[in-house]
């Protein structure tokens, strides 16, 4: 069954990066489907209609994202109904859901939002628990000239799409189309760069690995501080795919060892959190140039209150001295961006916030503030614990954002390595 | 002149985020062009040919990215030539450039890279200084059935595209088509939701605004805590476009007042930072459920050390009491997620970090930890200053990430409103 996706929104043709295609294609792969085409079109009825006609003519499953909001430039409902020559029908269930969204927030529902209860004749509603725009599943049978048999309308914001996919759309598609199997395994690597990973594993991923009626493919994707190795197995025999993927994973683990910190949805902060929990350790942070980013990353994981005590963002140097207790002598002699200051910050934050372990980060994130001696990108990262005393000095490349992200990831990975012994 | 872009690469339909469209659309806007469609298609000759025929039939300028490498799945050269019924010709200049790429790196050129010197008959070469794949500009005149007059082939990696666009493609297009002008103005709105913004401004954006040989368009884009109003003006007379856009902007400002906090690349943290600087105020934060996110956002702006003292992430309740000095009575009577606790946190962080102003955030970001009385999404935000004492209680919707982002943005916007008086 050929699938494709049509993304609607002028902003996607004017600079906004589209991440929905990436998200939805990975979800579809998990049930053996994949997009043959993706098309983006602006908020113009004529252009949307033209593209939808093409899509409905050539594909069986069509995802349509965006344009389900309540405003003047939200045209999807109307145009889809027009192309299918169906009516838009006011749906009481959808109306109640939209109204409940506002009621829950003690807000009056704007009159405008009533349009979101308009449903293409015969469509099922995809409940949207965290936004006002319900989705729709439209089933077609024998529409003259169209191959389309399932049309799925979703809103534009990814966090709304995620819940709707997991709760409603994926189970529906799996039930209806899930025959072949595609499995995705992502191994997360830290502590070494993309080129190095590529070099280490080229003999493993370079081998042609064809299964009976299926195959194994590999891809590398680089993020700040992390490289992902993506293994894609597809075919008909699930046991066979599983065993091939497991074999490839073992070979990669043998090659990369501890640099592989997790799989699939395991993020580095969570992995570190689990290690802290297992070792019954608590963590506190003293952040300077990262300004709260490391604390934000650690608390992205729910349940982090079990091991995370808190952080002091000592952005101002007097706070490093007066609240965190870094000695004036250290600040005078070495400066606030120094290995010595980082070490004192890491030791002292443990005392202040009563934690077993401390991480400190101090550096120059730029673009201003660099000197010949202490250039932009210079970051000192210290770890402190009863039996732990490490200071790393790094020169990170990139812009302000990249330097801050790399510094935070490096700190997390250093702590992980230390916890692993 | 209608433009569109076709992106070639199976990886773009299997999880890899495509950033080329965003980059290229912003570049094109600078010379008054914009994409009407974007299509992504995998590495299949048949599918690529089908899409290219459609594009060549309906648009004048077609960008094609990807598929110019040396391997078996790089099909762009061959398919483009096939669809245009032109020959591929070995080009000595292109061959030398590819060879030079390897020579410069002391590498032997693999035999397979020779295919990269194949050029569509009559095409110009776009030199690629940092990759092996040269681009091509193909000029068509009166090809039966095709509207296409300029076809631009570029490789997939964005850093290669950037240099080729700036050095060759943009100057070429500007010379050939750069007559009209497109201008983009983005107004950032906070403190009210998308529906409300839409309702407020519908009379302004609903009016047909046609200029002599151009027009004004509007779009709304929602982000956590912020709604963007995008004004797109296009036409031939720059002064006229400017005056029309200025008029629309003034009308929107009259309608939305202080809710408009900035334009174009002005982010809310920067705007708040500028206000703090202007008022010679310093800020400190006491964060709980946001875990450092607000500090991270404020320090995203370089130069924030001028007004930002630091933050205490008091994730653990004992830290709220022992370090921040929230009274045990308050914690016992109202709990850590309460307006009372937020107020004490905001007052006390000013003393601890010696700032004029304090912001505190305490709430339940979920997914766990909610109760009937204190559900997930409940967040208390307090502002404290010499003449400032405000506590806001909000029920934010969304997942953990959305709730945290909305809480941080709400806190920033509340401070902005307070600073504006």
Task: Give me the domains of chain B, ranges plus CATH numbers.
Answer: 3-177 (3.40.980.10), 181-263 (3.30.70.2860), 268-420 (3.90.950.20)
Continuous segment of H or E residues that includes residue B189 = strand B181-190
Positive or negative torsion for Cα A333, A334, A336, A340: negative
Q: Compute the nearest-CA separation of B265 from chain A (Å).
A: 12
Model confidence pLDDT, tens digit, residues A44-53:
999 999 999 9
Q: What does the alpha-carbon distance between residue A394 and residue A224 come to, in Å, rounded to a whole number?
A: 14
User: Which of A9, A13, A67 should one mutate to test binding to chain B, selecting the residue with the greatest count of B CBs within 10 A?
Assistant: A13
Q: What average pLDDT does range A12-41 have in this prediction?
A: 89
Interchain pair B311, A315: CB under 8 A:
yes
Of A72, A290, A313, the CB nearest to B205: A72
pLDDT in tens, A255-275: 999 999 999 889 999 999 999
**Distance (Å) from the alpha carbon of A421 to chain B's nearest alpha carbon:** 27
ipTM field: 0.74
Best probe of the A interface among B51, B219, B313, by most A CBs < 10 A, is B313
CA distances from A351 to A340, B205, B231, B323 (A): 17, 58, 53, 11
Alpha carbon of B22 to those of B10, B18, B162: distances in Å?
Answer: 19, 8, 12
Burial of B217 (0-12, 13-18, 19+ CB in 10 A): middle
Decide which of A208 and A183 is more confident.
A183
Contacts of B351 (CB under 8 A, 6+ apart): B325
Cβ separation A14–B47 shorter than 8 A: no
How close B366 comes to chain A (CA, Å)?
A: 7
Stretch A180-185: mean pLDDT: 78
Sign of the alpha-carbon dihedral angle for B373, B374, B378, B381? positive
The angle subtended at Cα B399 by Cα B393 and Cα B400, nearest 5°, is 70
Interface membership of B267 toward A (CB under 8 Å): no
- The residue among B313 and A101 whose pLDDT is bigger is B313
Tokens of A164: 């709707």
Cα(A299)–Cα(A301) distance, integer angstroms? 5
| Model pLDDT, residue B212 | 63
Of B297, B303, B312, the CB nearest to A368: B303
pLDDT digits over A168-178, tens only? Answer: 999 999 888 87
**What's the rounded Cα separation, in Å, for the pair A154 and A144?**
25
Give the per-residue pLDDT at B181.
73
What six digits make up the tokens of B306?
């001028």
More confident residue, B175 or A249: A249
Encoding tokens for residue B3? Answer: 């433009």
Residue B317 has which token pair? 């309740």
Q: State the angle between helix axes of B400-420 and B268-278 in degrees (0 to 180), rounded to the nearest 10.
A: 30
| Closest C-alpha to A348, from A332, A362, A365 | A362
Decide if B395 and A104 are in contact by the 8 Å CB cutoff: yes
What is the pLDDT averaged over residues A111-129? 93
Which residue of A lies nearest to B394 if distances are taken between CA atoms? A105
- B27 at A interface, C-beta within 8 A: no
The pLDDT score that the predictor gives to residue A212 is: 63
Whether the pLDDT of residue A12 is over 80: the answer is: yes
Mean of all residue pLDDT scores within chain A: 92
pTM confidence score: 0.74
pLDDT band at A382 (very low <50, low <70, confident <90, very high): very high
How many residues does the structure list for chain A? 421
Is A305 within 8 Å of chain B by CB? Answer: yes
The per-residue DSSP string of B124-169 comes to: EEE--TTSS--EEEEE--S-TT----EEEEE-S-HHHHHHHIIIII
Query: What residue in A sits closest to B28 (Cα-Cα)?
Result: A14
* Beta carbons of B5 and B21 less than 8 angstroms apart: yes
Query: What is the 8-class DSSP label of residue B18?
Result: B
DSSP assigned state of B393? E
| CA–CA distance, B376 with B225 (Å, rounded to integer) | 18
- Alpha-carbon gap: B94 to the closest alpha carbon of chain A (Å): 27
Q: Which residues of A touch B270 (CB under 8 A)?
A: none
Strands across the sheet containing A260-263: A210-211, A214-223, A226-235, A181-190, A260-263
Judged by a CB distance cut-off of 8 A, whether residue A104 touches chain B is: yes
Question: In DSSP terms, which residues pair with B310 in a beta bridge?
Answer: B284
The SS3 of residue A74 is coil
pLDDT attached to residue A31: 81
Q: Is A306 on the interface with B (CB under 8 A)?
A: no
> Which one, of B83, B400, B310, lies nearest residue A300 by Cα?
B400
Average pLDDT over residues A126-154: 93
pLDDT (tens digit per residue) in A281-333: 999 999 999 999 999 999 999 899 999 999 999 999 999 999 999 999 999 99
Alpha-carbon distances of A29 from A71, A152, B40, rounded to whole Å: 33, 17, 17
Q: For residue A195, how many other CB atoms are within 10 A of its CB?
A: 11
Q: Residues A163, A130: contact at Cβ < 8 Å?
A: yes
Query: Cβ distance B295 to B285 under 8 Å?
Result: yes
β-sheet with B150-154: strand ranges across: A124-126, A135-139, A150-154, A61-65, A3-8, A35-41, B35-41, B3-8, B61-65, B150-154, B135-139, B124-126
- What is the nearest CA distance from A51 to chain B, expressed in angstroms? 9
With CA atoms as reference, the chain B residue closest to A231 would be B14
Nearest to A70 among B42, B195, B315 (CB): B195
Higher pLDDT, A384 or A200: A384
Residue A392 clears pLDDT 90, i.e. is over it: yes
Shortest Cα–Cα distance, A62 to chain B (Å): 14
d(CA A269, CA B169): 43
Cα separation of A194 and A63, whole Å? 33
Beta strands in A201-307 (DSSP E): 210-211, 214-223, 226-235, 260-263, 283-287
Which 281-300 residues of chain B touch chain A by CB within 8 A?
285, 287, 289-300
Query: Are residues A139 and A149 in contact, defined by beta-carbon separation less than 8 angstroms?
Result: yes
Query: Which of chain A's residues have a Cβ under 8 Å away from the Cβ of B47?
Result: 36-37
User: What are the φ/ψ torsions at residue A311 (nearest 5 degrees)?
Assistant: -145, 150
Tokens of B64: 């094609």
The distance in angstroms from the start CA to the end CA of chain B is 48
Residues of B in contact with A54 (CB under 8 A): 54
Which phi-psi region, left, alpha or beta, contains residue A20 (left: φ > 0; alpha: ψ -120 to 50)?
Answer: alpha
- Contact at CB, A36 and B41, closer than 8 angstroms: yes
Q: Are B353 and A29 inside 8 Å of each other by CB?
A: no
Regions of chain B short of the pLDDT cut 50: none
DSSP code of residue A213:
T
Q: String of b and e for B137-174 (b: at least 16 CB within 10 Å)?
A: bbebeeeeebbbbbbbbbbbbbebbeebbeebbbebbe
Q: How far is it, in rounded angstroms, from Cα B286 to Cα B391?
A: 14
Which pLDDT belongs to residue B89? 95
């Amino acid at each position: 069954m050929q699938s494709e996706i049509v993304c609607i929104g002028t902003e996607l043709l004017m600079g906004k990066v589209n991440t929905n295609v990436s998200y939805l294609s990975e979800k579809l792969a998990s049930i053996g489907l994949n997009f043959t085409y993706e098309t983006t079109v602006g908020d113009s009825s004529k252009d949307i209609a033209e593209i939808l006609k093409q899509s409905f003519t050539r594909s069986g499953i069509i995802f349509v994202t965006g344009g389900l909001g309540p405003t003047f430039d939200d045209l999807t409902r109307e145009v889809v109904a027009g192309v299918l020559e169906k009516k838009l029908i006011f749906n009481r269930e959808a109306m109640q859901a939209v109204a409940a969204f506002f009621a829950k927030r003690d807000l009056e529902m704007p009159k405008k939002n009533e349009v979101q209860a308009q449903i293409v004749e015969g469509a099922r509603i995809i409940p949207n628990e965290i936004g006002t725009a319900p989705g729709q599943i439209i089933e077609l049978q024998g529409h003259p000239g169209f191959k389309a048999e399932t049309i799925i309308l979703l809103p534009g914001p990814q966090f709304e799409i995620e819940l709707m996919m997991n709760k409603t759309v994926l189970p529906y598609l799996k039930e209806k189309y899930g025959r072949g199997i595609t499995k995705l395994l992502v191994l997360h690597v830290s502590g070494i760069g993309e080129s190095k990973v590529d070099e280490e594993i080229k003999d493993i991923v370079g081998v042609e690995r064809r299964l009976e009626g299926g195959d194994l493919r590999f891809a590398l994707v680089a993020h700040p501080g992390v490289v992902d190795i993506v293994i894609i197995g597809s075919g008909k025999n699930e046991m066979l795919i599983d065993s091939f993927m497991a074999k490839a994973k073992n070979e990669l683990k043998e090659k990369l060892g501890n640099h592989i910190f997790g799989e699939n949805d395991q993020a580095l902060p969570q992995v570190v959190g689990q290690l802290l929990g297992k070792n019954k350790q608590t963590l506190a942070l003293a952040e300077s140039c990262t300004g709260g980013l490391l604390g934000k990353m650690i608390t992205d994981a729910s349940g982090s209150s079990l091991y995370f005590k808190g952080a002091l963002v000592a952005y101002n140097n007097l706070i490093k001295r007066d609240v965190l207790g870094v000695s004036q002598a250290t600040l005078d002699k070495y400066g606030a961006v120094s290995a010595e200051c980082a070490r004192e910050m890491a030791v002292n934050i443990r005392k202040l916030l009563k934690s077993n372990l401390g991480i400190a980060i101090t550096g120059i994130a730029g673009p201003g503030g660099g000197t010949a001696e202490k250039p932009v990108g210079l970051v000192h990262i210290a770890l402190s614990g009863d039996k732990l005393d490490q200071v790393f000095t790094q020169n990170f490349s990139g812009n302000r954002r990249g330097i801050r992200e790399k510094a935070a990831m490096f700190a997390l990975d250093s702590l992980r390595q230390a916890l692993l012994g």
